Amino acid sequence: MNPSHFLSENVKMIKPSGIRRFFDLASQMENVISLGVGEPDFVTPWNYREASILSLEEGFTAYSPNAGLLELRQEISAYMEQRFSVHYSSENEIIVTVGASEALDIALRATLNPGEEIIVVEPCFVSYVPIVELAGGKAVTVRALPEYDFKIQPEQIEEVITEKTKGIIICSPNNPTGTVLNKQELEGIASVALKHNLLVFSDEIYAELSYDEPYTSIASLPKMRDRTIVMNGFSKAFAMTGWRLGFVCGPNEILQAMLKIHQYAIMCAPTMSQFAAIEALKNGHTEMKKMIRSYHSRRNYMVEELNEIGLPCHVPGGAFYVFPNITSTGLSSEEFAEKLLIEQQVAVVPGSVFGASGEGYIRCSYATSIDQLQEAITRIKNFLK
């Protein structure tokens, strides 16, 4: 008897992430420079770690309330108001989750009926399509085009709307392109959402890493708060990936439905991580600014160098990725990434793993030291020769 007989049709349909294959390959090699991973190179600032250690010393080792510690939800509420000008009640409009990943999962599971469609803008974070499908929905992809700096145009969204469309997932700053949607561009998307009664899933995990202009959350636009679910977290700008802590904000009716799933499936996010997050929100501003300045200068370095060595690259407004075009090499993005890894030991991610529209590009994360970036550029230059 083959154990795979027991698997659900739903899970059999899901392909493993294309990023993993490259990590596995890279982990078997020596002297590899990784521009592959999407996580900060900074260790979590000491005061956040200390706050967590202190909570353990004091014996706070039990479950927290399902939605998260009230003090943390109050801090998140104040943060959302100050930083993004949207009010969410700490009582019933915020859930502390196991990363933005869980936020996305429970948001889709709480809102999708079988066969309903979610518009996913590609190139995009590798989880979106599988998570929509696992929630029983159908992902309908639209391509953000390089000629618009990978900014989706409202007409493109309208073209794919059907009577089954429930909502759209947007991500700004974007993984993998780094593109940031400004207020005016978000207004274009908002007007489509209002006209067609769509729910917006706004992945704002990179919101703080927006270098060139003030960040706008689509939830702050007129009439949008009650049709938007904002997913955010501590992984990126707070350098806390391993703590597995995120949060989700939205209208009470939707958040309470999400809480039902969260309380049965997860119970609560790790309590010790929540104590670190309270400290991060209360006293993390200076540390965060330092990290942002560092990413910003590394972004400028990478864009300049990649353009110089013949891999054209738009200036990504945020996150910590550059997305250069590699079509001049005549290689597919997968061939490019594989050859570069084998010949020069530099790990990048082929654009095709982020959806068909990522073909012709590679994603390079610059969340690594400037020395490593310099060495990576030298090796890529040698590779191109």
Report the interface residues with ligand PMP, using CB under 6 A: 38, 99-101, 125, 171, 175, 203, 205, 233, 235, 241, 246
Cis peptide bond prior to 45, omega within 30° of 0: no
Beta carbon of residue 233, minimum distance to ligand PMP (angstroms, whole number): 4
Beta carbon of residue 39, minimum distance to ligand PMP (angstroms, whole number): 7
For residue 52, give the DSSP letter.
Answer: H
Beta carbon of residue 197, minimum distance to ligand PMP (angstroms, whole number): 25
The residue (of 177 and 344) whose beta carbon lies closer to ligand PMP is: 177
Cα–Cα distance, 271 to 153 (Å, whole number): 41
Beta carbon of residue 335, minimum distance to ligand PMP (angstroms, whole number): 24
> What's the CA angle centered on 46, arms 45 and 51, to 5 degrees?
110
CA separation, residue 197 to residues 162, 226, 227, 255, 306 (Å): 11, 11, 8, 18, 42
The residue (of 19 and 377) whose beta carbon lies closer to ligand PMP is: 19
Beta carbon of residue 76, minimum distance to ligand PMP (angstroms, whole number): 14
The residue (of 137 and 233) whose beta carbon lies closer to ligand PMP is: 233
C-beta separation of 310 from 304 below 8 A: no
The residue (of 96 and 171) whose beta carbon lies closer to ligand PMP is: 171
Which of 251, 324, 311 shows the shortest CA–CA distance to 86? 251
Sequence-distant (6+) residues with CB within 8 A of 60 are 271, 272, 275
The residue (of 203 and 305) whose beta carbon lies closer to ligand PMP is: 203
The residue (of 241 and 329) whose beta carbon lies closer to ligand PMP is: 241
Beta carbon of residue 310, minimum distance to ligand PMP (angstroms, whole number): 28
CA separation, residue 307 to residues 223, 332, 371, 379 (Å): 41, 19, 19, 15
Beta carbon of residue 97, minimum distance to ligand PMP (angstroms, whole number): 8
Q: Which two tokens stand for residue 383?
A: 């590779």
DSSP string, 310-338: T-------BTTEE--B-GGGT--HHHHHH
* Helices and strands (DSSP H and E) totals, the chain: 13, 12
Which of 200, 205, 206, 207 shows the shortest CA–CA distance to 221? 200
The residue (of 64 and 202) whose beta carbon lies closer to ligand PMP is: 202
The residue (of 175 and 368) whose beta carbon lies closer to ligand PMP is: 175
Sequence-ordered alpha helix ranges (H) in 209-368 = 252-265, 271-283, 285-308, 333-344
- Note the maximum CA span of the chain: 60
Residue facing ligand PMP at closest CB distance = 99
Beta carbon of residue 101, minimum distance to ligand PMP (angstroms, whole number): 3
Indicate the burial class of 159 (C-beta count within 10 angstroms; 0-12, 13-18, 19 or more).
Answer: exposed
The residue (of 86 and 126) whose beta carbon lies closer to ligand PMP is: 126
The residue (of 121 and 205) whose beta carbon lies closer to ligand PMP is: 205
Which of 335, 352, 298, 345 shows the shortest CA–CA distance to 124? 352
Beta carbon of residue 177, minimum distance to ligand PMP (angstroms, whole number): 11
Beta carbon of residue 19, minimum distance to ligand PMP (angstroms, whole number): 9
